[in-house]
Amino acid sequence: MITYYTPLHEHHSPEKEFFRGDLIPCYEKPERAKYILDELKTRGYEVREPDTDSGNILKLVHSERYLSFLETAWSQWISIDPANEIVQPFPSVWPVRTLRTDLEPDNFIARLGLYSMDNGTPMAAGTWIAVKAGADAAVSAANYLIAGKRCVFSATRPPGHHAGMDFMGGYCFLNNAAIAAQALILGGSARIAILDVDYHHGNGTQSIFYDRADVLYVSIHADPRIEYPFYLGYADEIGEGLGVGCNLNLPLPAGSSAETWFAALDTACKKIVQFQADAVVVSLGLDTYAGDPLGKFRLPTEDYHRLGAIIHRLDLPTVFIMEGGYASVELGVNAVNVLEGFEGV
């Protein structure tokens, strides 16, 4: 299986994040991708750099205003005070119910809040470089399928499934899974299924496609009553308008066993088969691992072979998009186990 990977991800390397009110070292860090790359090379996988500009696809997934903000955010921050070069900006106010979102405030922190769903998605000087390169990798992977191949992996960071049309959150800035799905639609696929196996619900992906009938979103995740993103991911969210029936959430209690999780995966796969998708995009979050610091599911390393094998049985062209997974040392082994399980190794 070919992997698309870009060293430009290293440009996104903030030092601190807010987590439940505390300022702590970042869980989402460049080492995550390094462990994946090292394991890919150890097991003999071919790694390529992105070969496609995602610009035209980005405008179909994210709003022009949001993209413009992301691309220029750091320069805006520095223009306020050159000393901000060594200061991480964080939002401190958000346009909640009854407040306006149609106007961009002049104040930078207010603009940052307009485009943020939390204050735990830190920016750095090279954030735009990294996230744009990640989107390029996602579109490159999609084009690899469009060219007639059966499987491909986009091993990028930061993750993307919490990013909505016009907001960032949960370490996510651009929604790589949605970008890949949209690229496949433009490439001729009539129906795409997105299978999200991250511990956390992909609220951004759901919201982007919620009223569309050409993209099915299926997610297995921790119950949002107790886990991020809290405000989306419930079982009664089934889509709206043309998208009714094209959204399936399978929330599970914290502490769920591997067997409970795989029972939900079986339900997810049946929905994908029923949908008659032309291809599947897998939001490959590996924070379901028993040792993950941000997850409370109980999948052991060997079960990731099983995950890959089950996805293979869908018998669909498949693009894997890297999402979460914060047990960094084990992340590479778990990720490549999925690929080997898919390939029957």
Residue ranges per structural domain of the chain: 2-343
Give pLDDT, residue 20.
Answer: 85
Give pLDDT, residue 155.
Answer: 98
Nearest alpha-carbon partner for 304 in 343, 337, 344:
337
User: 2-343 domain in CATH 3.40.800.20?
Assistant: yes
Residue 162 annotated as catalytic: yes
Give pLDDT, residue 345.
Answer: 76
Burial 24-55 (b: 16+ CB within 10 A, else e): eebbbbbebbbbbbebbeeeebeeeebebebe
Give pLDDT, residue 294.
Answer: 96
List per-block mean pLDDT (blocks of 10 residues) for the chain, which spans 345 residues.
Answer: 98 94 94 97 97 97 98 98 96 97 97 97 97 98 97 98 98 98 98 98 98 98 98 98 98 95 98 98 98 96 98 98 96 98 92
Q: Are 256 and 134 in contact (CB under 8 A)?
A: no
Catalytic, out of 162, 200, 221, 305:
162
